[in-house]
Amino acid sequence: MGKTGIVGGGIVGVALARALSARGDEVTVLEKEGRLSQHQTGHNSGVVHAGLYYKPGSLKATLCAAGRVSIREFCEQKGLPYREVGKLVVAVDESELGALAEIERRSLENGVPDLTRIDDLERLREIEPHVAGVAAVHSPHTAVVDYASITEAMAQDVRAAGGQVRLGHEVSAMTLENGRVRVVTPVSEDVFDRVIVCAGLQSDVVARFVGADPSPKILPFRGEYWELAPERTDLVKGMIYPVPDPRFPFLGVHFTRGVYDNVHVGPNAVPALAREGYNWLQWSVKDTFESLRWPGAWPLAKQHWRMGVDEISGSLIKPLYFQKARRFIPELRSSDLSHKHGAGVRAQAWGREGELLDDFAVDQVGPVTLLRNAPSPAATSSIAIAEYVIDHYLDTPSAAARAAKTTATDAAPPAAPNPQASTEPKPRS
Protein backbone atom coordinates (compact mmCIF):
# COMPACT_ATOMS: atom_id res chain seq x y z
CA MET A 1 0.00 0.00 0.00
CA GLY A 2 1.03 3.64 -0.25
CA LYS A 3 1.45 6.34 -2.82
CA THR A 4 3.41 5.07 -5.79
CA GLY A 5 4.81 6.99 -8.75
CA ILE A 6 5.69 5.17 -11.96
CA VAL A 7 7.96 6.80 -14.50
CA GLY A 8 7.20 5.60 -18.04
CA GLY A 9 4.00 4.79 -19.88
CA GLY A 10 5.19 1.81 -21.88
CA ILE A 11 3.74 -1.65 -21.31
CA VAL A 12 5.97 -2.46 -18.32
CA GLY A 13 5.16 0.75 -16.41
CA VAL A 14 1.43 0.47 -17.13
CA ALA A 15 1.33 -3.25 -16.21
CA LEU A 16 2.91 -2.34 -12.86
CA ALA A 17 0.42 0.49 -12.35
CA ARG A 18 -2.46 -1.87 -13.12
CA ALA A 19 -1.26 -4.55 -10.69
CA LEU A 20 -0.71 -2.03 -7.88
CA SER A 21 -3.96 -0.11 -8.40
CA ALA A 22 -5.94 -3.38 -8.51
CA ARG A 23 -4.93 -4.03 -4.91
CA GLY A 24 -5.78 -0.53 -3.72
CA ASP A 25 -2.48 1.36 -3.97
CA GLU A 26 -2.65 5.01 -4.98
CA VAL A 27 -0.80 5.04 -8.31
CA THR A 28 0.30 7.81 -10.68
CA VAL A 29 1.95 7.09 -14.04
CA LEU A 30 4.11 9.92 -15.42
CA GLU A 31 4.74 9.66 -19.17
CA LYS A 32 6.72 12.28 -21.04
CA GLU A 33 5.04 11.83 -24.42
CA GLY A 34 1.54 12.93 -25.41
CA ARG A 35 0.37 9.31 -25.60
CA LEU A 36 1.25 5.92 -24.17
CA SER A 37 3.45 3.35 -25.98
CA GLN A 38 5.27 5.96 -28.07
CA HIS A 39 8.61 4.16 -27.90
CA GLN A 40 9.51 0.43 -27.69
CA THR A 41 6.00 -0.77 -26.85
CA GLY A 42 4.48 0.86 -29.91
CA HIS A 43 7.32 -0.04 -32.30
CA ASN A 44 7.92 -3.74 -31.90
CA SER A 45 7.18 -6.98 -33.77
CA GLY A 46 4.01 -7.68 -31.78
CA VAL A 47 5.11 -11.23 -31.00
CA VAL A 48 4.04 -13.07 -27.86
CA HIS A 49 7.11 -15.22 -27.40
CA ALA A 50 6.78 -18.76 -26.12
CA GLY A 51 10.26 -18.83 -24.51
CA LEU A 52 12.41 -20.68 -27.04
CA TYR A 53 15.72 -18.92 -26.72
CA TYR A 54 16.30 -17.92 -23.14
CA LYS A 55 18.80 -19.42 -20.74
CA PRO A 56 16.85 -21.89 -18.57
CA GLY A 57 16.29 -20.47 -15.09
CA SER A 58 16.87 -16.88 -16.19
CA LEU A 59 14.30 -14.17 -15.53
CA LYS A 60 13.63 -14.00 -19.26
CA ALA A 61 12.82 -17.71 -19.37
CA THR A 62 10.56 -17.79 -16.31
CA LEU A 63 8.79 -14.46 -16.79
CA CYS A 64 8.25 -15.02 -20.52
CA ALA A 65 6.51 -18.35 -19.85
CA ALA A 66 4.25 -16.84 -17.17
CA GLY A 67 3.77 -13.60 -19.11
CA ARG A 68 2.61 -15.36 -22.28
CA VAL A 69 -0.27 -16.98 -20.41
CA SER A 70 -1.19 -13.71 -18.67
CA ILE A 71 -1.18 -11.70 -21.91
CA ARG A 72 -3.40 -14.33 -23.58
CA GLU A 73 -5.86 -14.20 -20.68
CA PHE A 74 -5.85 -10.39 -20.66
CA CYS A 75 -6.61 -10.26 -24.40
CA GLU A 76 -9.43 -12.80 -23.97
CA GLN A 77 -10.86 -10.80 -21.08
CA LYS A 78 -10.76 -7.48 -22.98
CA GLY A 79 -11.74 -8.84 -26.41
CA LEU A 80 -8.40 -7.80 -27.91
CA PRO A 81 -6.91 -9.72 -30.86
CA TYR A 82 -4.59 -12.61 -29.96
CA ARG A 83 -3.63 -14.93 -32.81
CA GLU A 84 -1.54 -18.07 -32.41
CA VAL A 85 -0.02 -18.02 -35.90
CA GLY A 86 2.94 -20.17 -34.80
CA LYS A 87 6.67 -19.79 -35.36
CA LEU A 88 9.23 -21.77 -37.36
CA VAL A 89 12.90 -21.26 -36.49
CA VAL A 90 14.66 -22.43 -39.63
CA ALA A 91 18.19 -23.72 -40.18
CA VAL A 92 18.91 -22.82 -43.78
CA ASP A 93 21.96 -25.06 -44.04
CA GLU A 94 23.91 -27.70 -42.11
CA SER A 95 26.18 -25.10 -40.46
CA GLU A 96 23.19 -23.92 -38.35
CA LEU A 97 22.17 -27.34 -37.02
CA GLY A 98 24.27 -27.10 -33.84
CA ALA A 99 22.72 -23.76 -32.87
CA LEU A 100 19.24 -25.08 -33.73
CA ALA A 101 19.80 -28.10 -31.46
CA GLU A 102 20.71 -25.71 -28.62
CA ILE A 103 17.46 -23.77 -29.17
CA GLU A 104 15.52 -27.03 -29.11
CA ARG A 105 17.25 -28.03 -25.87
CA ARG A 106 16.51 -24.68 -24.22
CA SER A 107 12.91 -24.71 -25.44
CA LEU A 108 12.31 -28.12 -23.91
CA GLU A 109 13.91 -27.08 -20.63
CA ASN A 110 11.84 -23.88 -20.62
CA GLY A 111 8.64 -25.89 -21.15
CA VAL A 112 7.68 -24.32 -24.50
CA PRO A 113 4.32 -25.98 -25.19
CA ASP A 114 3.94 -28.47 -28.08
CA LEU A 115 7.34 -27.71 -29.61
CA THR A 116 8.32 -30.06 -32.44
CA ARG A 117 11.53 -30.65 -34.35
CA ILE A 118 11.25 -30.97 -38.13
CA ASP A 119 13.94 -32.52 -40.30
CA ASP A 120 12.43 -32.73 -43.76
CA LEU A 121 11.48 -30.08 -46.25
CA GLU A 122 8.13 -31.66 -47.05
CA ARG A 123 6.95 -31.30 -43.44
CA LEU A 124 8.44 -27.78 -43.25
CA ARG A 125 6.35 -26.83 -46.26
CA GLU A 126 3.16 -28.20 -44.74
CA ILE A 127 3.60 -25.43 -42.17
CA GLU A 128 5.11 -22.72 -44.38
CA PRO A 129 4.61 -23.63 -48.05
CA HIS A 130 7.26 -21.23 -49.42
CA VAL A 131 10.08 -21.74 -46.92
CA ALA A 132 13.53 -23.20 -47.64
CA GLY A 133 15.72 -24.96 -45.08
CA VAL A 134 17.14 -28.24 -43.85
CA ALA A 135 15.53 -28.36 -40.39
CA ALA A 136 13.46 -26.29 -37.99
CA VAL A 137 11.74 -26.16 -34.65
CA HIS A 138 8.06 -25.26 -34.68
CA SER A 139 6.33 -23.47 -31.82
CA PRO A 140 2.59 -23.53 -32.60
CA HIS A 141 1.58 -21.30 -29.67
CA THR A 142 3.77 -18.32 -30.49
CA ALA A 143 1.24 -15.56 -31.09
CA VAL A 144 0.81 -12.01 -32.34
CA VAL A 145 -0.95 -9.12 -30.63
CA ASP A 146 -1.12 -5.32 -30.68
CA TYR A 147 0.90 -4.20 -27.65
CA ALA A 148 -0.16 -0.55 -27.90
CA SER A 149 -3.85 -1.56 -27.61
CA ILE A 150 -3.03 -3.87 -24.71
CA THR A 151 -1.24 -1.01 -22.90
CA GLU A 152 -4.20 1.30 -23.50
CA ALA A 153 -6.59 -1.31 -22.07
CA MET A 154 -4.34 -1.73 -19.02
CA ALA A 155 -4.32 2.06 -18.55
CA GLN A 156 -8.13 2.04 -18.59
CA ASP A 157 -8.03 -0.47 -15.72
CA VAL A 158 -5.67 1.85 -13.83
CA ARG A 159 -8.04 4.81 -14.26
CA ALA A 160 -11.06 2.66 -13.34
CA ALA A 161 -9.31 1.69 -10.09
CA GLY A 162 -8.73 5.35 -9.23
CA GLY A 163 -5.16 5.67 -10.52
CA GLN A 164 -3.86 8.56 -12.62
CA VAL A 165 -2.15 8.34 -16.00
CA ARG A 166 -0.58 11.71 -16.75
CA LEU A 167 0.69 12.29 -20.28
CA GLY A 168 3.12 15.08 -21.19
CA HIS A 169 4.83 14.76 -17.79
CA GLU A 170 8.58 14.36 -18.32
CA VAL A 171 10.36 13.61 -15.07
CA SER A 172 13.31 15.98 -14.88
CA ALA A 173 14.43 15.48 -11.27
CA MET A 174 13.93 13.13 -8.32
CA THR A 175 15.22 13.65 -4.77
CA LEU A 176 15.04 11.43 -1.73
CA GLU A 177 13.51 13.14 1.30
CA ASN A 178 12.74 11.49 4.65
CA GLY A 179 12.33 8.06 3.06
CA ARG A 180 10.04 9.41 0.33
CA VAL A 181 10.72 10.61 -3.20
CA ARG A 182 10.06 14.08 -4.61
CA VAL A 183 9.41 13.84 -8.35
CA VAL A 184 9.53 16.93 -10.52
CA THR A 185 8.24 17.48 -14.07
CA PRO A 186 7.95 20.87 -15.83
CA VAL A 187 4.24 20.92 -14.92
CA SER A 188 4.01 19.11 -11.57
CA GLU A 189 5.72 18.22 -8.33
CA ASP A 190 4.71 15.22 -6.19
CA VAL A 191 6.03 13.33 -3.21
CA PHE A 192 5.61 9.54 -3.41
CA ASP A 193 6.24 6.77 -0.86
CA ARG A 194 8.05 4.93 -3.60
CA VAL A 195 8.81 5.24 -7.29
CA ILE A 196 9.30 2.59 -9.98
CA VAL A 197 11.24 3.68 -13.03
CA CYS A 198 10.32 1.94 -16.31
CA ALA A 199 11.79 4.52 -18.66
CA GLY A 200 13.08 2.20 -21.41
CA LEU A 201 15.55 4.12 -23.58
CA GLN A 202 15.98 6.75 -20.85
CA SER A 203 16.29 4.33 -17.93
CA ASP A 204 19.97 5.12 -17.23
CA VAL A 205 19.32 8.89 -17.47
CA VAL A 206 16.47 8.71 -14.94
CA ALA A 207 18.49 6.34 -12.71
CA ARG A 208 21.18 9.00 -12.38
CA PHE A 209 18.63 11.40 -10.79
CA VAL A 210 18.81 9.30 -7.61
CA GLY A 211 22.54 8.65 -7.74
CA ALA A 212 22.35 5.10 -9.14
CA ASP A 213 25.38 3.50 -10.73
CA PRO A 214 25.81 4.83 -14.31
CA SER A 215 26.27 1.20 -15.38
CA PRO A 216 24.53 -0.32 -17.18
CA LYS A 217 24.20 2.39 -19.75
CA ILE A 218 21.58 2.18 -22.48
CA LEU A 219 22.85 1.51 -25.98
CA PRO A 220 20.08 2.29 -28.48
CA PHE A 221 19.86 -0.29 -31.28
CA ARG A 222 17.41 0.49 -34.07
CA GLY A 223 15.49 -2.29 -35.77
CA GLU A 224 14.11 -1.40 -39.21
CA TYR A 225 11.22 -3.19 -40.91
CA TRP A 226 10.05 -3.66 -44.47
CA GLU A 227 6.52 -4.60 -45.36
CA LEU A 228 5.56 -7.31 -47.88
CA ALA A 229 3.40 -6.04 -50.75
CA PRO A 230 -0.27 -6.93 -49.96
CA GLU A 231 -0.54 -9.23 -53.02
CA ARG A 232 2.49 -11.24 -51.77
CA THR A 233 1.56 -11.74 -48.11
CA ASP A 234 0.50 -15.31 -48.95
CA LEU A 235 4.23 -16.16 -48.93
CA VAL A 236 4.06 -16.27 -45.12
CA LYS A 237 1.41 -18.00 -43.01
CA GLY A 238 2.78 -17.32 -39.53
CA MET A 239 6.32 -16.48 -38.49
CA ILE A 240 9.61 -17.52 -40.07
CA TYR A 241 12.69 -16.83 -37.93
CA PRO A 242 16.39 -17.47 -38.52
CA VAL A 243 18.56 -19.40 -36.07
CA PRO A 244 19.96 -16.45 -34.09
CA ASP A 245 23.65 -15.78 -33.63
CA PRO A 246 24.24 -16.77 -29.97
CA ARG A 247 26.87 -14.02 -29.56
CA PHE A 248 24.27 -11.32 -30.08
CA PRO A 249 21.13 -10.56 -28.03
CA PHE A 250 18.86 -10.03 -31.07
CA LEU A 251 16.88 -12.65 -32.97
CA GLY A 252 17.73 -11.69 -36.57
CA VAL A 253 15.55 -10.49 -39.46
CA HIS A 254 12.33 -12.50 -39.54
CA PHE A 255 8.96 -12.62 -41.29
CA THR A 256 5.91 -12.00 -39.11
CA ARG A 257 2.26 -12.09 -40.08
CA GLY A 258 0.90 -9.40 -37.79
CA VAL A 259 -2.35 -9.34 -35.95
CA TYR A 260 -3.92 -7.22 -38.71
CA ASP A 261 -2.66 -9.63 -41.42
CA ASN A 262 0.11 -7.45 -42.79
CA VAL A 263 3.47 -9.25 -43.09
CA HIS A 264 6.56 -7.38 -41.94
CA VAL A 265 10.17 -8.32 -42.49
CA GLY A 266 12.72 -7.34 -39.85
CA PRO A 267 13.98 -5.98 -37.59
CA ASN A 268 17.69 -5.65 -38.29
CA ALA A 269 19.94 -4.18 -35.56
CA VAL A 270 21.91 -1.01 -36.27
CA PRO A 271 23.32 1.41 -33.70
CA ALA A 272 20.94 4.37 -33.43
CA LEU A 273 22.54 7.81 -33.46
CA ALA A 274 20.11 9.02 -30.79
CA ARG A 275 18.25 7.25 -27.98
CA GLU A 276 15.04 7.95 -29.85
CA GLY A 277 16.62 7.90 -33.32
CA TYR A 278 14.11 6.21 -35.63
CA ASN A 279 16.12 6.86 -38.82
CA TRP A 280 19.67 7.82 -39.84
CA LEU A 281 18.77 11.55 -39.87
CA GLN A 282 17.82 11.65 -36.20
CA TRP A 283 21.16 12.29 -34.61
CA SER A 284 21.95 13.46 -31.08
CA VAL A 285 25.50 14.73 -30.56
CA LYS A 286 25.06 14.25 -26.80
CA ASP A 287 23.87 10.63 -27.02
CA THR A 288 26.53 9.68 -29.57
CA PHE A 289 29.31 11.38 -27.59
CA GLU A 290 28.18 9.69 -24.35
CA SER A 291 28.19 6.27 -26.05
CA LEU A 292 31.64 6.80 -27.58
CA ARG A 293 33.26 7.78 -24.29
CA TRP A 294 31.70 4.90 -22.35
CA PRO A 295 34.51 2.51 -21.23
CA GLY A 296 32.69 -0.40 -22.87
CA ALA A 297 32.62 1.27 -26.30
CA TRP A 298 35.90 0.00 -27.66
CA PRO A 299 35.67 -3.58 -26.32
CA LEU A 300 32.19 -3.80 -27.86
CA ALA A 301 33.30 -2.30 -31.18
CA LYS A 302 36.29 -4.67 -31.29
CA GLN A 303 34.10 -7.71 -30.69
CA HIS A 304 31.17 -6.89 -32.97
CA TRP A 305 32.51 -4.57 -35.71
CA ARG A 306 32.00 -7.13 -38.50
CA MET A 307 28.39 -7.67 -37.52
CA GLY A 308 27.98 -3.87 -37.25
CA VAL A 309 29.30 -3.25 -40.76
CA ASP A 310 27.06 -6.01 -42.10
CA GLU A 311 23.92 -4.65 -40.42
CA ILE A 312 24.62 -1.02 -41.39
CA SER A 313 25.22 -2.04 -45.02
CA GLY A 314 21.90 -3.91 -45.03
CA SER A 315 20.17 -0.82 -43.63
CA LEU A 316 21.56 1.50 -46.30
CA ILE A 317 21.50 -0.86 -49.30
CA LYS A 318 18.14 -2.56 -49.90
CA PRO A 319 19.53 -5.47 -52.03
CA LEU A 320 21.66 -6.58 -49.06
CA TYR A 321 18.63 -6.60 -46.71
CA PHE A 322 16.67 -8.43 -49.40
CA GLN A 323 19.36 -11.12 -49.79
CA LYS A 324 19.17 -11.95 -46.08
CA ALA A 325 15.39 -12.29 -46.23
CA ARG A 326 15.46 -14.33 -49.44
CA ARG A 327 17.52 -17.10 -47.81
CA PHE A 328 14.27 -18.26 -46.18
CA ILE A 329 11.90 -17.73 -49.09
CA PRO A 330 13.63 -18.26 -52.45
CA GLU A 331 10.53 -17.06 -54.34
CA LEU A 332 10.84 -13.64 -52.72
CA ARG A 333 11.51 -10.79 -55.19
CA SER A 334 13.09 -7.48 -54.26
CA SER A 335 9.90 -5.65 -55.28
CA ASP A 336 7.96 -7.75 -52.72
CA LEU A 337 9.57 -5.64 -50.00
CA SER A 338 7.24 -2.86 -51.01
CA HIS A 339 8.05 -0.14 -48.51
CA LYS A 340 9.80 0.52 -45.22
CA HIS A 341 7.46 -0.15 -42.35
CA GLY A 342 9.00 2.09 -39.71
CA ALA A 343 11.46 1.15 -37.03
CA GLY A 344 11.78 0.57 -33.31
CA VAL A 345 14.70 1.40 -31.06
CA ARG A 346 15.72 -1.22 -28.51
CA ALA A 347 16.92 -0.12 -25.08
CA GLN A 348 19.81 -2.53 -24.71
CA ALA A 349 21.74 -2.31 -21.44
CA TRP A 350 25.49 -2.24 -21.78
CA GLY A 351 28.12 -2.71 -19.06
CA ARG A 352 31.47 -1.03 -18.47
CA GLU A 353 33.43 -3.92 -20.00
CA GLY A 354 31.48 -3.68 -23.26
CA GLU A 355 29.18 -6.59 -22.38
CA LEU A 356 25.56 -6.50 -23.56
CA LEU A 357 23.36 -7.56 -20.65
CA ASP A 358 21.30 -10.58 -21.51
CA ASP A 359 18.77 -10.89 -18.71
CA PHE A 360 16.19 -8.47 -17.31
CA ALA A 361 17.84 -6.30 -14.64
CA VAL A 362 16.33 -4.49 -11.66
CA ASP A 363 18.13 -2.14 -9.33
CA GLN A 364 17.14 -0.43 -6.10
CA VAL A 365 18.10 2.92 -4.54
CA GLY A 366 16.19 3.46 -1.28
CA PRO A 367 12.48 3.63 -2.16
CA VAL A 368 13.22 3.82 -5.90
CA THR A 369 13.06 0.62 -7.97
CA LEU A 370 14.76 0.88 -11.36
CA LEU A 371 14.13 -1.41 -14.33
CA ARG A 372 17.47 -1.13 -16.05
CA ASN A 373 17.20 -3.77 -18.74
CA ALA A 374 13.80 -4.74 -20.13
CA PRO A 375 14.39 -5.68 -23.77
CA SER A 376 12.51 -8.38 -25.70
CA PRO A 377 10.62 -10.41 -24.48
CA ALA A 378 9.61 -7.76 -21.92
CA ALA A 379 6.37 -6.92 -23.74
CA THR A 380 5.36 -10.62 -23.62
CA SER A 381 6.50 -10.80 -20.00
CA SER A 382 5.09 -7.44 -18.84
CA ILE A 383 2.35 -8.74 -16.51
CA ALA A 384 4.75 -11.30 -15.00
CA ILE A 385 7.49 -8.65 -14.63
CA ALA A 386 5.00 -6.51 -12.70
CA GLU A 387 4.23 -9.39 -10.32
CA TYR A 388 7.92 -10.19 -9.94
CA VAL A 389 8.87 -6.61 -9.08
CA ILE A 390 6.03 -6.30 -6.57
CA ASP A 391 6.88 -9.63 -4.89
CA HIS A 392 10.65 -9.24 -4.80
CA TYR A 393 11.28 -5.51 -4.49
CA LEU A 394 8.16 -3.87 -3.04
CA ASP A 395 6.50 -6.31 -0.63
CA THR A 396 9.52 -7.58 1.28
CA PRO A 397 10.84 -6.84 4.76
CA SER A 398 14.01 -5.65 3.03
CA ALA A 399 11.97 -3.05 1.10
CA ALA A 400 10.69 -1.64 4.39
CA ALA A 401 14.23 -1.72 5.81
CA ARG A 402 15.57 0.06 2.73
CA ALA A 403 13.00 2.82 3.10
CA ALA A 404 13.89 3.17 6.81
CA LYS A 405 17.58 3.28 5.96
CA THR A 406 16.94 6.05 3.45
CA THR A 407 15.13 7.99 6.15
CA ALA A 408 18.24 7.76 8.26
CA THR A 409 20.66 8.79 5.52
CA ASP A 410 18.10 11.12 3.98
CA ALA A 411 19.12 12.75 0.73
CA ALA A 412 22.32 10.74 0.33
CA PRO A 413 21.24 7.65 -1.62
CA PRO A 414 23.35 4.50 -1.23
CA ALA A 415 25.46 3.47 -4.20
CA ALA A 416 23.45 1.05 -6.29
CA PRO A 417 24.51 -2.59 -6.42
CA ASN A 418 25.50 -4.10 -9.72
CA PRO A 419 22.13 -4.47 -11.43
CA GLN A 420 23.06 -7.80 -13.01
CA ALA A 421 23.65 -9.14 -9.51
CA SER A 422 20.48 -7.50 -8.22
CA THR A 423 18.35 -9.54 -10.61
CA GLU A 424 18.70 -12.32 -8.03
CA PRO A 425 15.35 -12.69 -6.28
CA LYS A 426 15.24 -11.07 -2.85
CA PRO A 427 14.03 -13.20 0.06
CA ARG A 428 10.25 -13.28 0.11
CA SER A 429 8.16 -12.34 3.07
Using CB under 6 A, list all residues that contact ligand FAD: 7-13, 30-33, 38-41, 43-47, 49, 170-171, 198-202, 206, 223, 267, 344-346, 374-380
* Shortest separation between residue 347's beta carbon and ligand FAD, angstroms: 6
Q: 62 or 380: whose CB is closer to ligand FAD?
A: 380
Q: Helix, strand, or coil here: 263?
A: strand
CB 2 within 8 A of CB 26: yes
* Shortest separation between residue 284's beta carbon and ligand FAD, angstroms: 14
CB 131 within 8 A of CB 90: yes
Nearest to 219 by CA among 167, 287, 318, 280: 287
* Shortest separation between residue 401's beta carbon and ligand FAD, angstroms: 27
Q: 132 or 272: whose CB is closer to ligand FAD?
A: 272
Q: 138 or 264: whose CB is closer to ligand FAD?
A: 264
CB 40 within 8 A of CB 200: yes
CB 262 within 8 A of CB 233: yes
Q: Which residues contact 220 (CB under 8 A, 6 or more apart)?
A: 201, 271, 272, 274, 275, 276, 277, 287, 345, 346, 347, 348
* Shortest separation between residue 259's beta carbon and ligand FAD, angstroms: 11
* Shortest separation between residue 375's beta carbon and ligand FAD, angstroms: 5
Q: 291 or 382: whose CB is closer to ligand FAD?
A: 382
Q: Residue 129 phi/psi, 5° resolution?
A: -60, -20
What does 294-334 look like in DSSP terms, one character per residue?
STTHHHHHHHHHHHHHHHHHHHH-HHHHHHHHHTT-TT--G
* Shortest separation between residue 250's beta carbon and ligand FAD, angstroms: 9
CB 137 within 8 A of CB 103: yes
Q: Which residue is nearest to ligand FAD (CB)?
A: 10
